[in-house]
Structure formats: structure tokens, C-alpha cells
Chains A and B, each alone.
Chain A
Amino acid sequence: MVDTNHDMDTAGIHTAPMLLNMGPSHPAMHGTVRMVLTLDGETVIKCDAEIGYLHRGFEKECEHSTWTQVFPYTDRLNYVSPLLNNFGFALAVEKLLEIEATPRCNYIRTIMGEVARLSDHLTCMGAGSLELGGFSGFLYAIEARELVWDLIEEVTGARLTVSYGRIGGLKNDLTADFAERWKVVRERVLRIWEDINRLLTKNRIFLDRMEGTGVISQADAISYGLTGPMLRSTGVDYDIRKDKPYFAYGELDFDVPVGTRGDNYDRYLVRLEEIRQSIRIIDQALLKLPDGPVNCDDPRVVLPEKERVYNSIEGMINHFKLVFEGIQVPAGEIYSYTEGGNGELGYYIVSNGTGKPWKVSIRSPSFYNMCPISKFVEGGMVADIIPTFDTINMIGGEIDR
């Protein structure tokens, strides 16, 4: 597709490729990535993507914090679905500690994780509509996301930087009226889902823009290490929730939608269907939600009740040690992975037996999904970068750690 032998002298008129610097201050680049494009008219000959504009030294910061203090940092990875990051990290540390979360905790993590996935997919679809010029579709999706965030706020106390996960449990239980509130949110989100579906899915212009653009083959997708909706759009039904069940996913019934062509449209459809599947998962999990404590009964990791802290010396010292020295995680290393909003979110953590991690390394799905960007856009048109970049759903916070 790419014409490397570029004819610089067409019919006696001198032509030269144009270098266009797209971003980081460009509406579609979110201020977090830069693309240096070589253009022949509207055709992209070459694309150099440059990341690093949101680098905050996250992995290094973790080494100076106790295990619990890492949670606020994980909020800022994929900031559209911070709950998933929280739970992924908690799971990794729990594996290293060799403790199990309580059944109720696992169910709540499943429920809240899927709520976060709703937020992630709705944002991605809405932004897709916006970047193709359909502002109404964007605002519809954002309305649904607001409803989801209201729900998150109700439970965690925050909308964006939730810090809801804890090692061995959660910050708090679900609110008493969560199920009723979910029923209301569910209905409205489904109605908005239907609106977006009718507005976009069969829209001729939308189809023209999405179909056949940003195509990647199954073999390429696997060799680039793509995961999540990007991989599933090529026809590989790899979903960690299904293939290596964690939390309560093994006990719940849901489908993994896959595409066939691996283009932007398939990625859009996969996300569209995953929204419905997430709603299905939450419905089932709320029905099966077991009673019991949310935090595991292990004084090595879980803070004691406030009553004990204020009224007994043991409780007081337990609290003090956990807060100041941190949870003492046995020396060792582990790679734990969960299904994030964009794919496999892996935490590789190394502990040297102290209250602080020795190393936290993150396999962020966005980073891997972003890698083949030049493959996607080269040979296409400038306008195709926009929907492709959207369905990749690159989140700056996740790419630059």
C-alpha cells in the first residue's frame, strides 16, 4: 500500500511529501501523544508516534510508597476505569501474600469492575462518535457514563480517582441501596445504548468511516501482543475473565464477543456488545452476592476495626504498624493479570519482604495496543487516523508510567 518509490516529479511539477506534526496539542491527540506524519496529499506515507508526554514516573513512585499507598497511583493509570486497576493490583499483592479475598469481596470487585468497564467502553464509543464529527452521540454516551459515575461515587466516594481497592478487601461494602440504584442506572444506560446503537451502528457515513480502516490481521495482532477488544475484534476470543477466571467471573455466565475483520468497525461492535455483557454480569452477580465480611480476617493486611484501635493497645499497635510500616509482603515476585478496560492489565511485582514494593512493573494494554499504530495508519488517509486512534482507545496515563 505504501508507495516507497515516491515520484517526486509528476509531469514536470515538483512535488515533495509534507511533514505534518500532529500533536501533542491537537484535538485528537489528547495532549499525550505526538504523531509526525509524512503526507503525500492526504495519504499518510509514514507515521512516527511519540509517547511520553504524560510520564509521571509511576513505577518509580511505587517504590517509595507502602503497598497500600500504591492504590491512588493505580487510579491514574487508565483513569477512565480506575476500579479495574485497583482490583488488579490488589489481586497481585494478595497472590504474593497467599491470601484469598472473601467471597463477598470477590463479587463486589466483579460488580464494581464491570461498572468501571461500562464507563471505559462508553467513553471510547462516545469519543469515537465525537471524533467522527457526531457530537450528539458523544454526549449521549457521556450521559450514560455520568450515570455510571454517580453509581461509583455513591459506593466509593469519588468519581474518578476512586482508590476503592484494598489488599485483602475493599475500602467499604456496597451501599445498602446499591441494587435499587443499579436497576435505575441499568435501564437508562440500556436506553442510551439503544440510542447510540440506532444513531451509529447502521449509519452509512459511520460505516464508511469505520469499515476497512485500521485493519490488523489475527497473526499480527497476536505477534504485537494486542489484547482486549483490539485482539477480540480479529476473531481471537481471548478474555482473561473467561480463560483464567478470577474474582467471581468463573461462577457467572457471559459471552465474549469477537469480530472477524479486525477493523475499526469490529472494534466498535465488540465494545458495544461488551457493554451489554457487562450489564449481564452485574445483574447476575447482584443476585448471587453472598453475605459476609468484605475484608478477609487477617490482621497482617487488614486494618483493625476503629473500635479496637481506640480501645485496645493491641488494636492500636496493629493499626500503627500497618499504616507506618506497611503490609509486610513476603519476598518473592509475581505476575498477575486481569482484564482491564483495554485488555490484559498485568502487574509484575517484586517484594523484598518489606512494607514497600521493590519493583512494580505494569503491562499496560494501551501501550501494546498503541505499538502497531504506524502499521494502522500508513497508506491510509489523514482522516483515518482519527477513528483508528479512537478504537485503540489509548489512555495517556496507561501508556506513560
Chain B
Amino acid sequence: MTLLIEFAIALLKVLVIVFGFVMALGSLMTLTERKYSAFMQKRWGPIRAEVLGFRFGGLLHLVADGVKMILKEDFIPSGANRNIHTIAPAMGLFTAMVIFAIIPFADAWCTGLALPVEGMDLCFGFDDAEALQSAQPAAVATFAPTHPYFQIADLNAGLLYMFAITGIGVYGTALGGWASNSKYSLLGGLRASAQMISYEVSMGLSLAGLLMVYGTLDVNEMVREQGALLWGTVPMWGILVQPFAFFLFLTASIAESKRAPFDMPEAESELVAGYFTEYSAMKFGIFSLSEFVMVVFIGAICATLFFGGWQVPWLYADGFHFSGDSMLAAASGGAWTAGELQSYVQASTPDIALPYGLVVFLRIGCFLTKIILMIALQLQIRWTLPRFRYDQIMFLGWKILLPASLINLFITALAILLLR
């Protein structure tokens, strides 16, 4: 019975996160990109689709585009490998979507009483503050279970999973290019495989420093660690700990998503449309959708690893703490007594006390805001910079990003060794 409930919850999480968030934001991206570029280029962008005179800010173009994509002729060139040609876009979208499994949208739900201990929330085995007050002061506080309701898969190898899935992502592109029986597609597919495989290396290495700092691969755990306050005041977000790694990772992951200035596989002025030259109708739509989903994912993973994920600055389970002094200190001897917790709660130490439910809500909202800001950054880059050349991309990947990641890794290791 419990297994069934767990299964139902997992399914619900997939439905809400993947279809309610990823797909929704991915399709919204089609409009956002057009509107954002229009904004940068002093244009109106899409404004024509309307129902009874209402335009809803261009939102109807989503529907119009969808209908158009589905109704258009699905063309497969002669000589193309029909099966692979058909399955390639699906592979692209599949990897872009399953990768979201590791993204935590908020901390695991605490079934007991959540209190911040030196920047990290702990879930104590009391139902609420009242239960805590009535407990024996001398009793040793126990911990209550937490449920990862806001993360599809709470994997302890979270980041490895991400690298594994992005590694598969190249197949959709490469196979799509190869199966089309077109020279432009082939060139695009070749460029894509070379580029994506090369940048995976520096993408992984740029995060290695972060792994050493946080000492975990679990993505949610990494976000929790980012709640710690540096010098008692500044939230220790990834960008503060590893500023260099952020730029390396962002560069590598934009290259991984094949968007300008790294859109060599597409390169519309050279290769017509690169690997999806021979795709039409919804298959074409799926390719561009998976590209947009990747943009959302890069936004999400950058926000998660470098900008505190769901952390709202200074917001902890019981409210805002603007300095580390107002939080529980680590227990002497490794265990808290109910008395210690009671005196903490009675003193009402948070600077602004908030109920737990509101805290979770604020955290989800904050995370979504961070994602949107990161997407905006990517769009800004995409519509500002011209495109690299094939050999320049390889040069950048292997001769600049890779050594830079290694140097970053070395310096991080040295710093950790010296500071410990």
C-alpha cells in the first residue's frame, strides 16, 4: 500500500514537474525567445495571432505554432533511414526532459519541526513547536523523516546522472544528421558530435571543484550547503565559492545546448539548418523544443549549483536570519536536548518568523525566478554574439576551457587543503 502511494507521488511529481513546468516553460521559450530578441532589436515580435481581438501578449502564437507543426507535411527525404530519422528527435527531447529528474525545486518536506542549524535546516522529531514545548527538556531530540516532494529523483549520484544523460543527448543530433541523407545534415551532425563530446569534458571538470567544496554529488545536498553563511552574513552560494567555475560551466553548457554563439551544428548561414535541415512538421518542432528545454535546464542547473538553488538568501525553515548568530549552533557532543531547542524557540530568534509552508512556497518561487533570470542571460548572449567557426570552437574547448578547468580544480584543491 505504501509502495503504491509512493509510486503515485512519484508519478504526480513527474507529471507536475515535467509537464507542468518543463514542457510549459519549454513551449513558452519559443515565444520568449522571439519576444526577447524583438525587445533587443526594437521590434514588436509576434503580435498577430488573436482571438476575438484579444492577443494575450502573443501567447496565442504558441497554439498557432503547435497547430501548424502538427498539420504540416512530415517529410522524409528519399534515401533517408526512416526509422532513425524518426527516432532522432525523440531521443533529443527524451534526454532533455529526463535530465530534470535531479533538479530540486525546494528542500525535502519536513514531517516534523524544521529548525536551522548553522545555515542548514534540520528536521527534528516533534510535530510542531507545541509538541516541542511539552517534551521533556532533558530528552535527546530525534530526527523526523523528510520527503523529497519537490524533486523527482533524490539521487545521491545526482551530478553523475546529469553527465550521463547529457552524454546520451548527442545521439539524437548526430543520428538525425546522419539519417537524413543530406550533406548539410551530415556536416551539421558531425559538427554536433564533435562539439558536444568535446565540451562535456570541460563541463564535467568545471564542476569538479564544486564537488570538492561540497563533498557530495547529491544535488539537493549541494543546495542545502549553499545556505551556510560566510563570515556569519553572506550566503555561501556556489558563485562565491567557485566564481571561475561558473563562467566555465556556463560556456560549456551553452556549447552543449548548441545555441549561439556555439550553434555550429545549425549554422543557418552555412549549413542551411544543419542537422535538422531535412526535418519538417512536428519532428522539426521537437528538435527546437528540446533545444529550448535544454536552455531551461541550463538555467535550472546553473541556478541550482551556483546561485543557491531554492535558497532564498537568509531564509531558513523558521524565517529570516540575517546573521549566523541567531541560528542554532552545532550540538555539543553531536546531539541536542529538547531543552536546548525549547529555549531557542521561546527566544523566537529568527529576525522575521515565517510559517514552514510559506517558507517552502517562497523557496519554490525564488528558484523559478532564478531560472528565469538565467534563461534571460542565455537569451541575451544568444542574441548578442556572432557565431564561432568549427576549429575555433574546438580550440576554445580543448585548449582554453579544459586547461582552465584543470587550473580551477587545482587551485580549489590547494585552497581546501590549506584551509582545512
Contacts and interface: CB of A to CB of B under 8 A. Distances in A.
A28 B389 contact: no
Interface residues of B, number: 29
A27 B37 CA distance: 20
Best-surrounded residue of B42, B191, B386, B388 (most CB of chain A within 10 A): B386
A209 B390 contact: no
Contact of B387 (A18, A28, A132, A200): A132
Contact of A381 (B40, B42, B390): B390
B278 to A, nearest CB: 14
A135 interface: yes
Contact of A206 (B264, B271, B386, B391): B386
Contacts of A199: 384
B392 interface: yes
B350 to A, nearest CB: 46
Interface in B370-420: 383-392
Interface in B183-205: 183-184, 187, 191
B127 interface: no
- Residue among A28, A135, A140 facing the most chain B CB atoms (10 A cut-off): A135
A383 interface: yes
Contacts of B41: 135-136, 139-140
B260 interface: yes
Contacts, number: 83
Contacts of B263: 133
B386 A139 contact: no
Interface string A356-389: 0000000000000000000000000111111000
A27 B272 contact: yes
B389 A384 contact: yes
Contacts of B270: 28, 382-383, 385-386
B389 A203 contact: no
B267 A133 contact: yes
A133 B390 contact: no
A26 B37 CA distance: 24
Nearest to B387: A133
B134 interface: no
Contacts of A27: 268-269, 272
Interface string B157-169: 0000000000000
Contacts of A139: 41-43
B390 A203 contact: no
A203 B269 contact: no
A100 interface: no
A18 B391 CA distance: 19
5 contacts: A42-B191, A130-B269, A133-B386, A137-B386, A382-B390
Interface of A: 18, 20, 26-28, 42, 129-137, 139-140, 143, 199-200, 203, 205-206, 208-209, 381-386
